[in-house]
Amino acid sequence: MDLEKEIQAGRLLTGTDQKMVEGSSYQLRLGNVYYDLSENGKRIELTEGEKVLIKPGHRVVLITEEEFNVPANMVSRVVSKGSLFSIGLSPVATYADPGFSGNLGIVTQNFSNRYVELSQGEPIAKADFSKLSKPATKLYNGQHGFQAEIWPIKTHLQKTHSEVANDRRVFSEQEEALALLPEATRVTIRRLENRVLWLLAMLVLAISLNGIALYLVETKSHLLDDFYGVLGSLIASGIVAVLALVVGFLGRTK
């Protein structure tokens, strides 16, 4: 099959640019609509010149500028551009069934810690077309989410921690949250938590010792007793300060 001739004739794809034909595939471009699944499937229509903005950790559906028109005897396989992997977007592999007609939605997630901007018309995926040995009998049926102005999300499959807390495979919310982080980050957070606990304990100790010293000062009228009370308070504060320095030093060297 001559892909370039098919596209020139307006078959397989419409709204195309001949420059996007590359070897045996066509480079699909980003349209002016996308959905942010991390914000309850919010539909965002871009103004002229406005870019798609994918926030860190967010999952989005990018809608292609081109429209598919897959005949009954063909199938199209779609993979995202390798250049998008390097900036933190998850890889995509999907397909358009025989009979599919309309713009294609490509789901991807930003795994980086930076905001990703994509310009309208930028190539985001490649589509190739394969001819079947015989026409499919069960063709794609139904409106695509883009045409219906919704994106069908099976939200009933998504659960909060409280809804699955009794499952034996689910740990505390804090442990589950830490499990999502890299090991080095988890270790650092645990060390910080332990250091805070030690510092709080020493703070309580300092307050207690100073309280005892002040009590001795208030209940004794002799000058020597006053001196010993103040000295005890200073010694208690010094001990706590030294312990805090030791804990901080050990925390840095581990």
Q: What pLDDT is attached to residue 52?
A: 96
Instruction: Please state, in angstroms and rounded to a whole number, the distance separating the CA atoms of residues 26 and 127.
Output: 5
Q: With b meaning 16 or more CB within 10 Å and e meaning fewer, what string describes 163-180?
A: eeeeeeeeeeeeeeebee
Q: Higher-confidence residue: 90 or 215?
A: 90
pLDDT at residue 81 is higher than 50: yes
Q: What pLDDT is attached to residue 253?
A: 47
State the pLDDT confidence band at 122, using cuts at 50, 70 and 90.
Answer: very high
Q: Higher-confidence residue: 41 or 244?
A: 41
Beta bridge partners of 77: 95, 128
How much is the average pLDDT of 120-141? 91
State the pLDDT confidence band at 233, using cuts at 50, 70 and 90.
Answer: low
Q: Higher-confidence residue: 72 or 148?
A: 72
Task: Reduce the DSSP state of residue 57 to 3 states and report it.
Answer: coil
Q: What pLDDT is attached to residue 111?
A: 92
Q: What pLDDT is attached to residue 208?
A: 72
Instruction: Please state, in angstroms and rounded to a whole number, the distance separating the CA atoms of residues 151 and 106.
Output: 11
State the pLDDT confidence band at 225, using cuts at 50, 70 and 90.
Answer: low
State the pLDDT confidence band at 240, using cuts at 50, 70 and 90.
Answer: low
How much is the average pLDDT of 105-122? 93
How much is the average pLDDT of 202-208? 73
DSSP code string of 112-167: SSS-EEE-TT-EEEEEEEEE-SS--SS---S--TTTTTS----GGG---HHHHTTS
pLDDT at residue 175 is higher than 90: no
Q: Higher-confidence residue: 245 or 193?
A: 193
Among 20-29, 136-145, 154-163, top mean pLDDT goes to 20-29
How much is the average pLDDT of 88-93? 92
Please give the model's pTM, rounded to 2 decimal places. 0.67
Q: What pLDDT is attached to residue 185?
A: 86
How much is the average pLDDT of 195-219? 70
Longest dimension (CA), the chain: 108
pLDDT at residue 244 is higher than 70: no
State the pLDDT confidence band at 242, using cuts at 50, 70 and 90.
Answer: low
Mean pLDDT, the chain, whole residue set: 82
Measured from the Cβ of residue 99, the count of other Cβ atoms closer than 10 Å reads 19
